[in-house]
Amino acid sequence: MITAKKFYMIRHGESIANRDGYFSGNMDVELTDLGKEQAQQAITPVEALQPKPVQIIHSHLERARHTAEIINHNLQLPMYETSLLGEHHLGDWHGEPWDIIRPRFFSGENPPGGETHNEFAVRIRDGINWALEKDGPVLIVCHGGVFRGFYRLYNAECDIIENCVLYEFTPDNSTPDFPWKVKAMDH
């Protein structure tokens, strides 16, 4: 499934869509001022990592790209962009209010005119594996849906992923159904 290699992953800072409560999916939306502050605050835990990331891979969407740029300000690591790690393409649900669409989306209904949950998970698999082909460990800056897609590959439940919380993913064969140890790193 996913290459058994240590990596780090972080969701972008708060976006306008997060703040305003609508599905942005694969649409480009900006970070809010709070989102920019969250990315600034993520610098400290990223710089404290051991081993440190040697490259940053980020989604092609502005909110992830801007978060990656802020986090990388001091590190000055090579950065690579890919649409494979973009958020779920939500088709007709783009721009719809969370409170209306969320129950349908999280019950497993596929967005009309968008990617199915399984198509999205396969794209995420390909994107993470592409990132892990590079020298590592890498830091992936992406979206909450990328985390959900990762977990879906293993038929595992994913908790809510907060904006700009850093996670360490370490291969762990002691749990064959989900062969990863996932640890939220302290802020």
- In 3-state terms, what secondary structure has residue 17? helix
DSSP state of 57: E
- In 3-state terms, what secondary structure has residue 160? coil
Cross-strand bridge partners of residue 169: 7, 182
Closest listed residue to residue 135, CA positions, set 23, 27, 7, 12? 7
Sheet holding 138-142, edge to edge: 79-82, 55-59, 138-142, 7-11, 166-171, 180-184
The single-letter code of the amino acid at 30 is: E
Residues with Cβ within 8 Å of residue 68, at least 6 apart in sequence: 56, 58, 79, 141
DSSP state of 60: S
CB 139 within 8 Å of CB 154: no
**What amino acid positions are annotated as catalytic residues?**
12, 87
Closest listed residue to residue 88, CA positions, set 127, 62, 63, 114? 114
